[in-house]
């Protein structure tokens, strides 16, 4: 079993889900007392969030690249960036290490295509929805992504940063996310990508009448495929 390095803390709420899912996945696949070989490097999210807001992606990328190098030095054979948004700096992180860094956008596009779909609604942070680093990665995998309108994007951003990232999961916000997703479906989305790792704390498959693609779960499944190959 390969050792997985996880750059986490963005936020730690979803990083805890990564750790749980990786270990549960190994137990399901190998049985008994087996558990995942995982090294977690959990950053302080507050400075990273300020870099995001300021558009200082170079500094943020340098910070995460240092974390990746430390994970590789500690024996990681595969690295995950445990946040969709910070795949904005994927190239900077992947270029800092010699081991593979598993891109969440690639994992997600494959999952969508495997279901026979090619157009999804994307719920994520404002950065992931509005900038092209993630949507272009989906497009390269043959998946078109639709994003909410300005008002809905602002609501999704608020729910992620003001609530889910600090452990607040409210029925009202879940209903709001579902309504936003339904509007995307009305516009032609064949599925909904939960393109922020915290969104799985609120929305689930079955909340809307199309497939839901939970990126944390998909990332963990792909990591285990690679680690246990």
Question: Mind listing the pLDDT tens digit for each residue in 147-175?
Answer: 999 999 999 999 999 999 999 999 999 99
Contacting residues for 67 by C-beta, under 8 A, at least 6 apart: 7, 41, 43
Same domain, 192 and 108: yes
- Does the annotation count 196 as an active-site position? yes
Same domain, 204 and 119: yes
Same domain, 130 and 141: yes
Same domain, 200 and 98: no
Reported in sequence order, the residue ranges of the chain that DSSP labels E, i.e. its strands, are 4-8, 38-42, 78-81, 119-123, 144-146, 191-194, 212-214
- Does the annotation count 83 as an active-site position? yes
The count of domains in the chain is 2
Q: Residue range 171-199: average pLDDT?
A: 97
Q: Quick one: pLDDT at residue 49? A: 96
User: What range does the domain containing 58 cover?
Assistant: 4-103+218-227
Same domain, 98 and 172: no
Q: Could you give the count of Cα atoms lying within 13 Å of 74 in the half-sphere of its Cβ?
A: 18
Query: Of the residues 83, 85, 108, 215, which is catalytic?
Result: 83
Whether 81 contacts 12, CB under 8 Å: no
Instruction: Calculate the average pLDDT of the chain.
Output: 97
**Span 29-87, pLDDT tens digits:** 999 999 999 999 999 999 999 999 999 999 999 999 999 999 999 999 999 999 999 99
Cα–Cα distance measured from residue 182 to residue 137, given in angstroms and rounded to the nearest whole number: 24
**Span 102-147, pLDDT tens digits:** 999 999 999 999 999 999 999 999 999 999 999 999 999 999 999 9
Instruction: Tell me the pTM.
Output: 0.95
Query: Of the residues 128, 196, 197, 216, which is catalytic?
Result: 196
Q: Quick one: pLDDT at residue 82? A: 98
Same domain, 200 and 113: yes
Cα–Cα distance measured from residue 209 to residue 205, given in angstroms and rounded to the nearest whole number: 9
Same domain, 71 and 112: no
Q: Quick one: pLDDT at residue 129? A: 98
């Amino acid at each position: 079993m390969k050792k997985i390095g996880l750059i986490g803390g963005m936020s730690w709420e979803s990083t805890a889900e990564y750790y749980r899912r990786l270990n549960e996945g190994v137990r399901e696949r190998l049985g008994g007392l087996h558990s995942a070989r995982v090294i977690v490097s959990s950053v302080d999210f507050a400075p990273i969030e300020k870099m995001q807001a300021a558009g200082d992606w170079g500094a943020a990328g340098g910070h995460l690249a240092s974390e990746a190098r430390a994970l590789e030095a500690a024996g990681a054979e595969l690295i995950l960036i445990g946040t969709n948004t910070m795949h904005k700096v994927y190239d900077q992180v992947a270029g800092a290490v010699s081991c593979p860094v598993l891109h969440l956008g690639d994992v997600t596009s494959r999952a969508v295509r495997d279901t026979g779909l090619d157009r999804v609604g994307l719920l994520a942070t404002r950065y992931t929805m509005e900038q092209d680093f993630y949507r272009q990665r989906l497009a390269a995998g043959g998946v078109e992504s639709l994003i909410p309108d300005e008002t809905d994007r602002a609501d999704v951003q608020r729910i992620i940063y003001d609530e889910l990232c600090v452990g607040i999961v409210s029925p009202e916000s879940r209903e709001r996310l579902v309504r936003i997703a339904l509007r995307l479906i009305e516009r032609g989305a064949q599925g909904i990508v939960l393109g922020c790792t915290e969104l799985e704390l609120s929305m689930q498959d079955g909340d809307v009448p199309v497939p839901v693609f939970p990126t944390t779960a998909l990332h963990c499944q792909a990591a285990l495929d690679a680690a246990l190959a």
